[in-house]
Amino acid sequence: MNARDQISINGKKLKNRITYAPTVKFDYAGPDGFVTEKHVKHYADRAKGGFGLICVEATAVTPEGRFAPNHLGLWDDAQTEGHKAIVKACHNEDAVVIIQLNHTGITGNPEFGQPVGPSAVETRSGALSHEMTVDEIHKMQEAYISAAIRAKEAGYDGIQLHGCHMYLINQFISPKHNLRTDEYGKDKSLFGKEIIRAIREKCGKDFLISIRTVGAEPDVESMVAVAEEYVKAGCDYLQVSHGFDSFTEKRVPEGAPYSELCALGVEFYKHFKGKVPVSCVGDLFTPEVVNYIFENELCDTVDIARAGLADPNFANAVLNGDPYVKCFKCQRCQYGPFTNHTCPAEIKRSKQ
């Protein structure tokens, strides 16, 4: 296996196996959640930089589900037009492009009201979240489905559901945060898989459906079982990351250069090999580590986040040996929320 190898995911041909992970640009959007020229240029630059697939950042499916007032949205038909410009910019560079759909749930910004979730649990502010009724659950699912329909209308090749990083879909599969005794508690994958089934029905068999899912919560076996349900429901692609639980079990073989987070994707690949493609993520900062993943056939694709923020040309560095500016691994990333930090890699590139 090689990073240059093409791969087909539900009929969408990726020109290589390097994908750009969804990373939120907090200072790009305004309170209306509309796409700006900053967004278009950002994704166009990464598409030109060689990435085979671009996953646009976490995009709110309701106004209340935003991280902050300056958060990209797809909860309204009026927002669709701007997304067409992102799609066109990526397609012009022969990159497949999908968009991540998200709701913050219990981790929501209290500025938008009481956070909601599967159960009433303590939130970051110390207050209790609102336990959603079944009717509210169905309305929330409709918000995801409507956003996916808008994504298709904008020309996206597919969507990615944000099912990890402690957000709403993750909360439903978390035994610590889903304390329900009804069907959504007994089958913790139900919330997510009903969304997947409906998107498949509404958007068609050729629409790519991915989920960024949890690798271990509390263990890999439990989350593989959840992912199996997502795949049965119609998910085409598993992009594996982390959730609420920290990593307690060492999974990286002695001498291997990849991270424990990346190892979760490797474990999923072992299980789903030949069924659906699997992607890994986490501390993939150099071409050498990325190439190690493929040379040892450890995953179908790799998701590049901070290395691709530091230099849009990172994929070409892997594919062609092009020079690139390394990520400085800053604790306060420029692209993180509510920070005035300036990316030193960006400064270095501007001087070249």
Give me the pLDDT at residue 147, please.
98
Confidence bin at 340 (pLDDT 50/70/90): low
**How is residue 248 written in tokens?**
């307690």
Domains of the chain: 7-351 (3.20.20.70)
Which amino acid type is present at position 72?
A: L
For the stretch 71-105, pLDDT in tens is 999 999 999 999 999 999 999 999 999 999 999 99
The three-state DSSP-derived secondary structure of 69-99 is CCCCECCCHHHHHHHHHHHHHHHCCCCEEEE
Q: Evaluate if residue 334 carries a pLDDT over 70.
A: no
Give me the pLDDT at residue 337, please.
61
Q: Evaluate if residue 59 carries a pLDDT over 80.
A: yes
Give me the pLDDT at residue 126, please.
87
CA dihedral 193, 198, 200, 201 (to 10 degrees): 150
**How is residue 311 written in tokens?**
């230099």
Mean pLDDT within 102-125:
94
Give me the pLDDT at residue 258, please.
97
Confidence bin at 310 (pLDDT 50/70/90): very high
Q: How many CB atoms lie within 10 A of CB 295?
A: 11
Question: Across all residues in the chain, what is the average pLDDT?
Answer: 95
Give the end-to-end CA distance of the chain in Å, rounded to a whole number: 34
Give me the pLDDT at residue 102, please.
98
- Alpha carbons 115 and 166: distance in angstroms, whole number: 13
Please give the model's pTM, rounded to 2 decimal places: 0.96
Among 3-7, 158-162, 246-250, the minimum mean pLDDT is found in: 246-250
Beta bridge partners of 212: 162, 239
Q: Where are the beta strands (DSSP E) in 109-262?
A: 116-117, 130-131, 158-163, 208-214, 237-241
Q: How many CB atoms lie within 10 A of CB 205?
A: 10
For the stretch 137-174, pLDDT in tens is 999 999 999 999 999 999 999 999 999 999 999 999 99
Give me the pLDDT at residue 233, please.
98
